[in-house]
C-alpha cells in the first residue's frame, strides 16, 4: 500500500513540498477517490456569485482554478504513465499561467468543469489502481527533477488540497 508518509525526498522536486505537506498517511488510491468527492461537495457549496470572482487583479477565478486542476491532473497522470512504463524520456515542465490564458475556464459552467474534473479523476484512479507496487516506485524525470509514479499521484491530491485552501482563505 502506498501511503503519503512513505514518500522520500528524492521522489519529487522541492517545489512540490507545500502540496505534499497537506497529506499525512493517506493511501493513494483511496485518497484519489475520497478527495474528489470532498472537493466537489466543497465547490458546490460556494455561492454562485463567487464562481467568477478573482480576489485581486490578474488572479484566476474559481472556475479558472478548477480548469487548472483538470489540466494539471492530466499532465501528472501522463507523467505517472510514462514513468510506470519505464519510459526514460525526460518530460518538460509546463507553465501554468500560459495554460490558463488560453484554457477559457471562466467561460464554462461550473457543472461542466466539475463533470470534466470527475471524468479525469476517474481515469486517473483507474490508471493508479492498475500500477503494481514496483511500478509505483519507478522514477522518471519531469521539470529536470526526479519524480516517482506514486509522488505524481500524491501531488495531484496535494495540489487540489492546496487550491481548496486558497479558496477558503482568499475567495470566500
CATH number at residue 92: 1.20.120.450
pLDDT band at 54 (very low <50, low <70, confident <90, very high): very high
Is residue 167, in this structure, part of any structural domain at all?
yes
Residue 124 contacts residue 32 (beta carbons within 8 Å): yes
* Cell numbers at 45, concatenated: 457549496
- DSSP label of 87: -
Is residue 14, in this structure, part of any structural domain at all?
no
Is residue 33, in this structure, part of any structural domain at all?
yes
Residue 84 has pLDDT above 90, yes or no: yes
Is residue 103, in this structure, part of any structural domain at all?
yes
* Cell numbers at 2, concatenated: 502506498
E-strand spans in 13-152?
139-142, 145-148
Is residue 6, in this structure, part of any structural domain at all?
no
The widest CA-to-CA distance across the chain, in whole angstroms, is 47
pTM as predicted? 0.96
Overall number of domains in the chain:
1
Averaged pLDDT, 54-61: 93
Report how far residue 117's alpha carbon sits from residue 70's, in angstroms, rounded to the nearest whole number: 6
Average pLDDT in the chain = 96
Report how far residue 168's alpha carbon sits from residue 92's, in angstroms, rounded to the nearest whole number: 31
pLDDT tens-digit readout, 62-71: 999 999 999 9
Q: What are phi and psi of 12, to 5 degrees?
A: -165, 160
Domain hosting residue 87, numbered range? 19-171
pLDDT band at 1 (very low <50, low <70, confident <90, very high): confident
pLDDT tens-digit readout, 106-144: 999 999 999 999 999 999 999 999 999 999 999 999 999
Averaged pLDDT, 151-162: 98
Residue 43 has pLDDT above 90, yes or no: yes
Amino acid at each position: 500500500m502506498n501511503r503519503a508518509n512513505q514518500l522520500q525526498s528524492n521522489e519529487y522536486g522541492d517545489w512540490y513540498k507545500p502540496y505534499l505537506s497537506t497529506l499525512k498517511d493517506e493511501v493513494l488510491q483511496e485518497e484519489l477517490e475520497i478527495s474528489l468527492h470532498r472537493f466537489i461537495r466543497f465547490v458546490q457549496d460556494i455561492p454562485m456569485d463567487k464562481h467568477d470572482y478573482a480576489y485581486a487583479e490578474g488572479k484566476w477565478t474559481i472556475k479558472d482554478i478548477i480548469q487548472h486542476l483538470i489540466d494539471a491532473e492530466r499532465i501528472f497522470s501522463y507523467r505517472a504513465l510514462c514513468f510506470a512504463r519505464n519510459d526514460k524520456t525526460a518530460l518538460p515542465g509546463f507553465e501554468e499561467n500560459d495554460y490558463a490564458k488560453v484554457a477559457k475556464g471562466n467561460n464554462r459552467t461550473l457543472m461542466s468543469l466539475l463533470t470534466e474534473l470527475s471524468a479525469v479523476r476517474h481515469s486517473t484512479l483507474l490508471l493508479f489502481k492498475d500500477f503494481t507496487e514496483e511500478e509505483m516506485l519507478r522514477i522518471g524525470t519531469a521539470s529536470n527533477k526526479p519524480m516517482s509514479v506514486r509522488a505524481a499521484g500524491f501531488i495531484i491530491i496535494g495540489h487540489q488540497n492546496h487550491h481548496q485552501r486558497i479558496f477558503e482563505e482568499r475567495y470566500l
